[in-house]
Amino acid sequence: MTGNGQLARQQADEQMSGVLPPTREAVVEQGLRIQQETAAERDALRREVAQLHSDIAAYKVALEAQSAQLTQADSRVETMTATRDEAVRRAAEVETVLASMLALGRAFSIKHQPHITGDGDHEEARRHGGVDDTAASPYRRHPGDVG
């Protein structure tokens, strides 16, 4: 028993002194290496996840900006469509009035006169009977007026 007791005491002494057999040293070193590699990989993955979160936040901001631009463009399209519709409505009214005036002119045999440009043509046209300066006057006398 003294041999076994001596071996047990030697192992206890080795454990107390921190000296391990070479095979156990190799296992410990391998375990520490694996632990450190795992910790380094974990840290790299954490950095990658943080970068991905940052990228996602940037994409969200860009998406919100484009969404705001799209909303603004839709609003402008609606405004422009309403403006166009109003212009078309007014043009139709003007066309109707002009068609009515042309029909009245034909009905009363009024000759169509060209537009006056204002560069002296007015006097020339008035001399030749093309423009009646009193046409819009409330004091104009028409043939057949009494008085």
Answer yes or no: are the C-beta atoms of 16 and 22 closer than 8 Å: no
Instruction: Locate the domains of the chain by residue range.
Output: 20-110
pLDDT at residue 6 greater than cutoff 90: no
- Token couple for 57: 């936040």
Model confidence pLDDT, tens digit, residues 65-108: 999 999 999 999 999 999 999 999 999 999 999 999 888 888 88
Please state the pTM of the whole predicted model: 0.43
3-state secondary structure 56-106: HHHHHHHHHHHHHHHHHHHHHHHHHHHHHHHHHHHHHHHHHHHHHHHHHHH
Pick from 12, 8, 9: nearest CA to 20: 12
Q: How far is CA 86 from CA 94, 96, 98, 146, in A?
A: 12, 15, 18, 45
pLDDT score recorded for residue 118: 59
Answer yes or no: are the C-beta atoms of 20 and 28 closer than 8 Å: yes
